[in-house]
Amino acid sequence: MAGGVKKPINIFRLGDLGEPKGVFNWRLWFSVISFGLLGAARGIDEGLIGGAFRSKNFQDLIHFKDYSEVEQANIKGNVTSMVLISSVAASAFVVCDRIGRLWATRQLCIWWAVGITIFLCNRGHLGAVYAGRFIAGFGIGQTPVVGPVYIAEIAPASIRADLSNLAYWTNYGTERHMGSNVKERWMVPSSIHIMFAGIIFILSWFQYESPRYLIKRGRVDEARHVMSRLRRLPEDDPYVCNEIAAIQHAHDSEVEATRGMTFLQTIKETFTSKGNLYRLYLTTSVQFLSQWSGAGSITIYAPDFFELLGVKGSEQGLLVTAVFGLVKLGAALLCALFLVDVIGRKRSLLLGISLQTISMVYVAAFLSTHPKLGMEDHYHLPTNSLPASRGAIAMIYLSGFGWALGWNSMQYLLTAELFPLRIRAIGTSWAMALHFANQYGNARAVPNLLLPTSQGGITAQGTFWSFACVTIIGGAWVWFFVPETAGRSLEEMSRLFELPWYKIGRYGNKFAEQRDAEERREDFEEDKIEDVQNEYDEEKRRKEAPLV
């Protein structure tokens, strides 16, 4: 029903979805899992790089302690964010359409593996560390596009897994069994990058090209054959024929929507239409507010943040960080499979932001009452403050759940659902460019923000207060400006933007539902009039017919 929320899918009873027998088969799941592994790239990188800096061997190798505290913060920020500088997710759309989904996957795996190899073989040269991370970013940055594009095009219900938890537990495992002073402590976890890139590269040779890409290239018969193999149904089966027809119709609609439009004309339409400007405003704001809410930097610098909150010892810190990864994984799966579709986009976003706000305010208040914590090496937390410290750690976990329920899902969903066909490519590219630009800025800035004010930072408590402020502003912004998009097709989505801009967020969905009801009533009345007219014409023909 338009304007409503969808009934959640029971993944344990896929046979109840009305699909033909055999659609959910091993070949489909093999393809989904193979390309779903691309979702691990970002999570693995975020989980591993913070742990590498906890290794004494890695620090000694790059002579980390020879630098001042400010220089150390700059180095940590540069190394961590270097992957994000070269992330080219915006261009991944072009790559997918030019060389296909399979070759796009293979080339990004090569960039990814080569970059990490250079990083591992740095021989103590900081320049090699930077170069390796930069090159790896060309591959890692494309994974948020290539994997979801392929899965969405071949699966009746797309499934993605967040595997960042693996990276956290690998850091803890190597610390527990190898210690911190050996090179294996950071090299073994980092080598997981190469392992995943290699596995995905090999698996790509056992996959079929996306039917949608084949149709875009005019290879309809081949697309029908691929769809038949994926669904394990004959090529002339009505289900396969209907899917191919739907893809062809969608492609024809996309071509028709952009027919005769040059790139400059598309740009002009994007920035001159009031409805499109509001869409860009939503997309831009989502990327700024989500990335600067602090959740992403907590993921990247989790060991450092837990140390700030009183977790002492490298092994214990990595264990707490690994548990954090497990919490985020469970929250991501729970939210993706059930909560988002049950309660709707906007309510999900507001609930997640509320949980994040509570978490950030608590941690900021705790650090404000212990300003020396994390700022002075020999400061020990008083015994009577240990319960509050454990509460702050629990709040970090809660913030991870809130992030999974709110911004982490919505920054992608809103972008995917907002833009009409004519400007979808530009709108999505704009969103992904902003995504990585803001993620880079936040990851690069946080090590410096945590420094004392005497060294150009705003202290740990100041950092968390800034996260709290951004999160509160984000919640108010969502309440006033973001409309509910769940349950609406792209065609119905345009009705949300017919109101003045200051009414869209609060009243857009109600207005669209009224328009839907009016349209259904008009259609009903037209059908009724047509039926009456048909009955009249039939009666007239019967009376005028000559008697036999």
Q: Report CA dihedral (333, 336, 341, 345) to the nearest 10 degrees.
A: 130
Does 330 or 353 have the greater pLDDT score?
A: 353
**Choice among 73-87, 171-185, 319-333, 353-367 with the minimum mean pLDDT:** 171-185
Closest CA to 110 of 34, 201, 195: 201
pTM of the entire structure?
A: 0.74
Task: Return left, alpha or beta for 488; rule: phi > 0 is left, psi -120 to 50 is alpha, else beta.
Answer: beta
- Per-residue pLDDT for 126 more than 60? yes
Q: What angle do the packed helices 274-291 and 263-272 form, to 10 degrees?
A: 80
- Per-residue pLDDT for 98 more than 90? no
Contact 434, 286 (CB under 8 A): no
Gap between the Cα atoms of 487 and 4, Å rounded: 6
Does 437 or 164 have the greater pLDDT score?
A: 437
DSSP structural state of residue 546:
P
Gap between the Cα atoms of 264 and 426, Å rounded: 11
| Per-residue pLDDT at 384 | 83
Gap between the Cα atoms of 107 and 98, Å rounded: 13
- Per-residue pLDDT for 170 more than 80? no
Gap between the Cα atoms of 39 and 93, Å rounded: 16
Contact 89, 144 (CB under 8 A): yes
Helix H or strand E segment including 162: none
Contact 520, 527 (CB under 8 A): no
Tally Cβ neighbours within 10 Å of residue 65. 9
Residue type, 240: V
Contact 468, 361 (CB under 8 A): yes
b/e map 257-268, b = 16+ CB within 10 Å? ebeeeeeeeeee
| Per-residue pLDDT at 527 | 64
Span 145-151, mean pLDDT? 76
Closest CA to 20 of 156, 119, 128: 156
**Choice among 152-166, 170-184, 200-214 with the minimum mean pLDDT:** 152-166
Closest CA to 172 of 336, 337, 311, 367: 311
DSSP structural state of residue 482:
P
Span 10-21, mean pLDDT? 53
| Per-residue pLDDT at 162 | 37
Q: How many residues does the chain have?
A: 548
| Per-residue pLDDT at 155 | 59
Gap between the Cα atoms of 193 and 164, Å rounded: 12
Contact 261, 255 (CB under 8 A): no
| Per-residue pLDDT at 16 | 47
Task: Return left, alpha or beta for 297; rule: phi > 0 is left, psi -120 to 50 is alpha, else beta.
Answer: alpha
CA distances from 478 to 219, 348, 437, 518 (A): 44, 11, 22, 28
DSSP 98-115: HHHHHHHHHHHHHHHHHH
The model's pLDDT over 472-498, given as tens digits with 9 standing for 90+, comes to 999 999 999 988 776 665 556 677 777
Gap between the Cα atoms of 78 and 130, Å rounded: 8
Contact 214, 223 (CB under 8 A): yes
**Choice among 111-125, 141-155, 221-235, 453-467 with the minimum mean pLDDT:** 141-155
The model's pLDDT over 519-534, given as tens digits with 9 standing for 90+, comes to 667 666 666 677 667 7
Does 231 or 156 have the greater pLDDT score?
A: 231
DSSP 3-state helix, strand, coil percentages of the chain (rounded to 5)?
Answer: 80, 0, 20
Q: Percent of the chain having pLDDT more than 90?
A: 19
3-state secondary structure of 140: helix
Structure tokens given for 308: 């700030």
Give Cβ neighbours of residue 374 (< 8 Å, ≥ 6 apart). 307, 308, 367, 450, 460
| Per-residue pLDDT at 362 | 95
Contact 464, 363 (CB under 8 A): yes
| Per-residue pLDDT at 222 | 93
Gap between the Cα atoms of 187 and 500, Å rounded: 56
CA distances from 83 to 130, 133, 169, 186, 295 (A): 9, 5, 22, 17, 18
Look over the chain and give the mean of its residue pLDDT values, rounded to a whole number. 79
- Per-residue pLDDT for 148 more than 60? yes
Contact 459, 453 (CB under 8 A): yes
Gap between the Cα atoms of 341 and 347, Å rounded: 10
Q: Which residue has the tokens 């999505």?
A: 428
**Choice among 140-154, 200-214, 363-377 with the minimum mean pLDDT:** 140-154
- Per-residue pLDDT for 8 more than 60? no
Contact 164, 47 (CB under 8 A): yes
Query: What's the distance, CA 436 to chain centroid?
Result: 11
Span 421-429, mean pLDDT? 74
Contact 169, 188 (CB under 8 A): no
CA distances from 50 to 43, 171, 267, 490, 501 (A): 12, 9, 40, 40, 42
| Per-residue pLDDT at 103 | 92
- Per-residue pLDDT for 110 more than 90? yes
